[in-house]
Amino acid sequence: MQPFNVMIDWNSGTMSEGDRKTRRVSDMQGMYHNQAAARDALDNGDPKIYEYTTIQLPQESDHVLFGTTTVFPGRIGSECFMTKGHYHEQRATGEVYVCFSGHGRLIMETEDGAGKVLEMLPGSVSYVPPYWAHRVCNVGDEPLIFFAAFPGHAGHDYGSIEQSGFSVRVERYGDEVVVVDNL
Amino acid sequence: MQPFNVMIDWNSGTMSEGDRKTRRVSDMQGMYHNQAAARDALDNGDPKIYEYTTIQLPQESDHVLFGTTTVFPGRIGSECFMTKGHYHEQRATGEVYVCFSGHGRLIMETEDGAGKVLEMLPGSVSYVPPYWAHRVCNVGDEPLIFFAAFPGHAGHDYGSIEQSGFSVRVERYGDEVVVVDNL
C-alpha cells in the first residue's frame, strides 16, 4: 500500500476524501428520551445530528482506522444532539479521540454496568478502553469536531446498545449541562 | 481499564500526562549529513531537535497507542531538524499522523527500496502503511506539532534504519525546500 494524505477542514470537520455519512433525527429517532420532541424535530426539517467521514483501509489489526466526526449543536427536547454510539464488535478493542473544537461529553459504559462520562473540549484526548460502549454529545453552541482512531479489526456493533439504550443521557438547561439517569 | 482524558497544549504540543522525552543533537549526531555542522551544533548548546510524549498503554493489538511530537524549527547545515525515524518492530503495522501546526515533510521508505515524501501542514492526516519506515522533518520557522496513533503491538525498531540511513534527506535554502538523495 502507498502512503497517502487527506486534509481535515478545521471549520467543518470533514476530510478531503473518504466515505462521508450523515445522521439525521430520522436515523435515530427512538434513541431520544423525549419522543414527542423527536417527532416534532422530524416534522420540522429532520435536522442533521452529525456527520462523519472514515477512510477505507483493510479491517485488520495491523491497520489503524481513522475518521472525523462533527456533531452539530442542538437539542431534542432538553437532550443534547449525540451520536448513535456503539460497542466494538470485537469488544476487546479500544479507541482514541482527539477533540479539535466545540464542547461535548463522551458517555461510556460497559456490559458489566460500569459507567463514565468525560469532557470533550479543544485539545482533549480521550481513551476509550476495550469493552466500553461510547457515545458523544454536543453540549455547546458550536459544532463539536473530533478525530477518532481505532484498531482495524474493531468492527462496530450498534445493535446491542441500541436495544438496551445507554444508562445515562446528557441534557442542557440554559448553560447548565446535566447527566441524567435513563430509568 | 478505566477511560481517561489527557490534554494537548496546542502551543507546545505537549500532553498533560505521559512519558515525555527530548531528543537533542547529541542523541542523533550521526544521522545528519553535514558532520561538521553537527559537531558545531553540539558545541553550541546541543539544541533540542524534538520532544515527544506517549501514553503508557498495553502493547497489544487491541489497543491504540498514541502520542504527540514537536519538532523544533532549525537546521544542521542545510538539513532540516528531524526525528530519528524508525520501522515498526512488527513491520506489518501502520500508523496515522494528524498535523496540528507547523510545516513539515514526512519521509518514508520500505526495505524493498520504495520511497515517498508527503507534506505535513495544519489539518493534514498522513497514513503510514505497513512496512514503511517514517521520519518527520520540520521545514518551517515554527514548531511542527502532530499527533500519532499506532497499533499497540507495533513496537519500534530504530536500529535498522539508523544503520542504513534514509535514502533521502530534506534541506532548506532560504524558503526553498529540497529533497536530496543520500548517496
The CATH number of whichever domain residue A84 belongs to comes to 2.60.120.10
Q: What is the domain count for chain B?
A: 1
pLDDT of residue B112: 95
Question: What's the predicted TM-score (pTM) here?
Answer: 0.97
pLDDT of residue B65: 98
Does residue B31 form part of some domain? yes
pLDDT of residue A183: 76
Chain B residues whose CB is inside 8 A of the A95 CB are: 64
Are A127 and B7 in contact (CB < 8 Å)?
no
Q: What is the mean pLDDT of residues A117-130?
A: 98
Q: What is the mean pLDDT of residues B30-50?
A: 97
Determine the Cα–Cα distance for residues A89 and A106; give it in Å rounded to an integer.
19
Residue B49 is part of which domain span? 19-181
DSSP β-ladder status, B4-7 and A95-101? unpaired
The secondary structure of chain B, three-state, reads CCCEEEEECCCCCCECCCEEEEEEHHHCHHHCCCHHHHHHHHHCCCCEEEEEEECCCCCCCCCEEEEEEEECCCEECCEECECCCEEECCCCCCEEEEEEECCEEEEEEECCCCEEEEEECCCEEEEECCCEEEEEEECCCCCEEEEEEEECCCCEECHHHHHHCCCEEEEEECCEEEEEECC
User: Which candidate, B173, B172, B104, places its Cα nearest to that of B134?
Assistant: B104
Determine the Cα–Cα distance for residues B125 and A130; give it in Å rounded to an integer.
25
Determine the Cα–Cα distance for residues A29 and A41; give it in Å rounded to an integer.
9
Residue % of chain B over a pLDDT of 70: 100
Determine the Cα–Cα distance for residues B10 and A21; give it in Å rounded to an integer.
29
Nearest to B116 among A3, A8, A119 (CB): A3
| Residue numbers of A between 25 and 64 with CB closer than 8 Å to B | 55, 57, 61-64
pLDDT-derived band at B26, boundaries 50, 70, 90? very high
The residue ranking higher by pLDDT, B142 or A162, is: B142
Give yes or no for residue B48 having a pLDDT over 80. yes
pLDDT of residue A20: 95
B125 at A interface, C-beta within 8 A: yes
Are B149 and A66 in contact (CB < 8 Å)?
yes
Q: What is the mean pLDDT of residues A79-93?
A: 97
Does residue B136 form part of some domain? yes
Does residue A9 form part of some domain? no
Length of chain B: 183
Chain A residues whose CB is inside 8 A of the B61 CB are: 61-62, 151, 153
State CA A22 to chain mean position distance. Answer: 12
Three-state secondary structure call for residue A61: coil
In a mutational test of the A interface, the residue from B16, B57, B64 whose CB has the highest number of chain A CBs within 10 Å is: B64
Does residue B7 form part of some domain? no
Q: What is the mean pLDDT of residues B164-181?
A: 96
Element (DSSP H or E) covering residue A164: helix A159-164
Determine the Cα–Cα distance for residues A7 and A13; give it in Å rounded to an integer.
10
C-beta of residue A155 within 8 angstroms of C-beta of residue A88: yes
B109 at A interface, C-beta within 8 A: no
Are B127 and A7 in contact (CB < 8 Å)?
no
Give yes or no for residue B183 having a pLDDT over 90. no
Does residue A100 form part of some domain? yes
State CA B119 to chain mean position distance. Answer: 13
B7 at A interface, C-beta within 8 A: yes
Does residue B3 form part of some domain? no
Are B5 and A95 in contact (CB < 8 Å)?
no
Q: What does the pLDDT look like over A50-76, one tens digit per residue? A: 999 999 999 999 999 999 999 999 999
Three-state secondary structure call for residue A126: strand
| Residue numbers of A between 144 and 163 with CB closer than 8 Å to B | 147, 149-153
- DSSP class of residue A52 equals E
pLDDT of residue A72: 98
pLDDT of residue A14: 96
A92 at B interface, C-beta within 8 A: yes
Q: What does the pLDDT look like over B148-161, one tens digit per residue? A: 999 999 999 999 99
Does residue B87 form part of some domain? yes
Q: What is the mean pLDDT of residues B162-180?
A: 96
Q: What is the mean pLDDT of residues A29-54?
A: 96
User: Which candidate, B101, B6, B122, B19, places its Cα nearest to that of A121?
Assistant: B6
Contacts of B67 (CB under 8 A, 6+ apart): B15, B18, B52, B53, B54, B55, B147, B148
Average pLDDT along chain A: 97
B65 Cα to chain A: minimum distance (Å): 8
Does residue A65 form part of some domain? yes
Are A125 and B8 in contact (CB < 8 Å)?
yes
Chain B residues whose CB is inside 8 A of the A64 CB are: 64, 94-96, 149-151
Q: What does the pLDDT look like over B98-143, one tens digit per residue? A: 999 999 999 999 999 999 999 999 999 999 999 999 999 999 999 9
pLDDT-derived band at A96, boundaries 50, 70, 90? very high
Q: What is the mean pLDDT of residues A91-109?
A: 98
A35 Cα to chain B: minimum distance (Å): 31
C-beta of residue A27 within 8 angstroms of C-beta of residue A53: no
pLDDT-derived band at B15, boundaries 50, 70, 90? very high
